[in-house]
């Protein structure tokens, strides 16, 4: 099954089921919290992840992501976890500095 690794959450590994967004996979039963201010509707960009490896395995950008790319609010190495799915392969990413949650502890 496709897998997401989050480098600065101590290498947390999350399995991503078919059709599931990265955010859904992250929030599902592992005691992990991830900022998602608009509730996963593609309207805020607070759920973004910096992709370090494996961008080629992610599904194409959604309309919401394309809109933020055009506005310069989503960088080439970033995806919105509430939009992005992972049909196959593995992705490694990290939580951006600006969206770290105060009650979570992050590794370097
Ligand atoms: S949670 Fe708002 S864009 Fe993803």
Strands 12-15 and 78-80: unpaired
Sorted by where each starts, the structural domains of the chain and their CATH numbers stand as 3-96 (3.10.20.30)
- The predicted-structure confidence for 12-57, as pLDDT tens digits, reads as follows 999 999 999 999 999 997 779 999 999 999 999 999 999 999 999 9
Q: How far apart are CA 104 and CA 74, in angstroms?
A: 23
CA of 1 to the centre of ligand 1 (A): 24
Q: Does any ligand 1 atom lie closer than 6 A to the CB of residue 40?
A: yes
> Is the Cβ–Cβ distance between 91 and 54 less than 8 Å?
yes
Take residue 81 and report the two structure tokens written for it.
Answer: 């976890």
pLDDT at 87 over 90: yes
- The predicted-structure confidence for 64-76, as pLDDT tens digits, reads as follows 999 999 999 999 9
- With a threshold of 0.85, does the pTM exceed it? yes
Q: Does any ligand 1 atom lie closer than 6 A to the CB of residue 99?
A: no
CA of 11 to the centre of ligand 1 (A): 23
């Amino acid at each position: 099954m496709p897998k997401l690794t989050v480098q600065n959450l101590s290498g947390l590994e999350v399995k991503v089921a078919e059709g599931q967004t990265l955010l859904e996979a992250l929030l599902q039963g592992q005691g992990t919290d991830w900022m998602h201010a608009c509730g996963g509707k593609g309207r805020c960009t607070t759920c973004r992840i910096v992709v370090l490896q494996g961008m080629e395995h992610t599904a194409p950008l959604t309309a919401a992501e394309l809109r933020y790319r055009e506005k310069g609010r989503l960088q080439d190495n970033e995806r919105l976890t509430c939009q992005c799915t992972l049909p196959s392969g593995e992705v490694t990413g990290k939580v951006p500095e600006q969206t770290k949650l105060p009650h979570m502890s992050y590794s370097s």
